[in-house]
Amino acid sequence: MCGIVGYIGKNRADQIVIEALKRLEYRGYDSAGVAIGDGQRIRIIKKKGKVDDLKRLIDKDELSGTIGIGHTRWATHGVPSDRNAHPFRAHDIVVVHNGIIENHLEIKERLKKKGYRFQSDTDTEVIPNLILYYTREGFDLVGAVRRAVKDLKGSYALAILREKERILVGVRHESPLLIGVGDGEYFIASDAPALISKTNRFIFLEDGDIAVLTDDGVRILDRNGENVEREIREVNWTPMMAEKGGFKHFMLKEIYEQPSSISDTILGRILEEKGEIHFEELEEMPLSRIRKFWMVACGTSYHACLIGKYIFERNLKIPVEVDLASEFRYREPPVRKGDFLILISQSGETADTIAAMREGKKRGAYTLSICNVLGSTLSRETDSTIFTRAGPEIGVASTKAFTTQIAVLFMLMLFFASRMKTKEKKEIKKMISELKKIPHKVNEVLEGGAKIEEMSKKYMYYKNFLYLGRGINFPTVLEGALKLKEISYIHAEGYAAGEMKHGPIALIDERMPVLCLSPGDSTYSKMCSNIEEVISRQGKVILITDMDSHGMAKKVEDVFVVPKTIYELQPIVSVIPLQLFAYHIANFLGTDVDQPRNLAKSVTVE
Ligand code: M6R
The Cα 70–Cα 443 span in angstroms is 31
Strands 320-324 and 339-345: unpaired
- Residue 111 predicted with pLDDT over 90: yes
- Crossing angle for the helix pair 425-447 and 449-459, to the nearest 10 degrees: 60
HSE-CB of 488 using CA atoms within 13 angstroms: 30
In which band, very low, low, confident or very high, does the pLDDT at 363 lie, cut at 50, 70 and 90? very high
- Residue 361 predicted with pLDDT over 80: yes
What pLDDT is recorded for position 218?
96
Query: Is residue 2 annotated as a catalytic residue, yes or no?
Result: yes
Q: In what order do the strands lie in the sheet with 67-73?
A: 42-48, 31-37, 67-73, 2-8, 186-189, 178-181, 201-204, 233-234
Q: How confident is the model over 26-81, as pLDDT tens digits?
A: 777 889 999 999 988 999 999 998 899 999 888 887 778 999 999 999 887 778 88
The Cα 383–Cα 365 span in angstroms is 10
3-class state of residue 580 by DSSP: helix
Beta-carbon contacts of 198 under 8 Å, excluding residues fewer than 6 positions away, are 16, 20, 180, 182, 185, 187
CA-based nearest residue to 202, from 173, 225, 170, 224: 170
Q: How confident is the model over 492-530, as pLDDT tens digits?
A: 999 999 999 899 889 999 999 999 999 999 999 999 999
Q: How confident is the model over 257-287, as pLDDT tens digits?
A: 999 999 999 988 998 778 899 988 887 777 6
Q: What is the DSSP letter of 199?
A: -
Residues flanking ligand 1, CB < 6 Å: 298-301, 345-347, 350, 353, 396-398, 486, 599, 602-603
Q: How confident is the model over 329-352, as pLDDT tens digits?
A: 889 999 998 899 999 999 998 989
Q: How far is the CA of 299 from the centre of ligand 1 (A)?
A: 5
User: Which architecture characterizes domain 250-446 according to CATH?
Assistant: 3-Layer(aba) Sandwich (3.40)
Q: In what order do the strands lie in the sheet with 339-345?
A: 320-324, 292-297, 339-345, 366-371, 384-387
What pLDDT is recorded for position 283?
76
- Residue 558 predicted with pLDDT over 70: yes
Ligand 1, residue 396: give the atom nearest the CA: 14
What pLDDT is recorded for position 601?
76
Cβ(600)–Cβ(606) under 8 Å? no
The Cα 324–Cα 345 span in angstroms is 12
Query: Does the fold of domain 449-589 match that of domain 250-446?
Result: yes
HSE-CB of 76 using CA atoms within 13 angstroms: 27
Mean of the per-residue pLDDT values of the chain: 92
The Cα 241–Cα 179 span in angstroms is 18
What's the chain's length in residues? 606
Type of residue numbered 290: I
Cβ neighbourhood burial of 555 (10 Å; 0-12, 13-18, 19+): middle
Cβ(183)–Cβ(172) under 8 Å? no
10-24, 198-212, 479-493 — which one is most confidently predicted on average?
Answer: 479-493
3-class state of residue 69 by DSSP: strand
Type of residue numbered 100: I
What pLDDT is recorded for position 312?
97
Looking at domain 449-589, which of 3.40.50.10490, 3.30.465.10, 3.40.228.10, 3.40.47.10 is its CATH number? 3.40.50.10490
CATH class of 3-241: alpha beta
What are phi and psi for residue 533, nearest 5 degrees?
-60, -40
| Percent of the chain clearing pLDDT 70 (strictly above) | 98
In which band, very low, low, confident or very high, does the pLDDT at 580 lie, cut at 50, 70 and 90? very high
Cβ(135)–Cβ(185) under 8 Å? no
What is the distance of C-alpha 526 from the center of its chain? 35
Q: What is the DSSP string of 231-257?
A: --EE----HHHHHTTT-SSHHHHHHHT
Q: How far is the CA of 272 from the centre of ligand 1 (A)?
A: 33
Cβ neighbourhood burial of 190 (10 Å; 0-12, 13-18, 19+): buried
In which band, very low, low, confident or very high, does the pLDDT at 1 lie, cut at 50, 70 and 90? low
What pLDDT is recorded for position 453?
97
What pLDDT is recorded for position 285?
75
Cβ(284)–Cβ(386) under 8 Å? no
Cβ(120)–Cβ(75) under 8 Å? no
Average pLDDT of the residues in 114-139? 95
Residue to probe by mutation, ligand 1, list 323, 388, 398, most atoms within 8 Å of CB: 398
What pLDDT is recorded for position 606?
63
Ligand 1, residue 378: give the atom nearest the CA: 4
Q: How confident is the model over 188-229, as pLDDT tens digits?
A: 998 887 888 899 899 989 889 999 999 999 999 998 989 999
Q: What is the DSSP letter of 548?
A: T
Q: How confident is the model over 368-396, as pLDDT tens digits?
A: 999 998 778 898 899 999 999 888 888 99
The Cα 242–Cα 235 span in angstroms is 9
Query: Is residue 113 annotated as a catalytic residue, yes or no?
Result: no
Q: How far is the CA of 344 from the centre of ligand 1 (A)?
A: 10
What pLDDT is recorded for position 467?
97
Q: How far is the CA of 53 from the centre of ligand 1 (A)?
A: 30
Break the chain into its structural domains and give their ranges: 3-241, 250-446, 449-589
The Cα 553–Cα 150 span in angstroms is 49
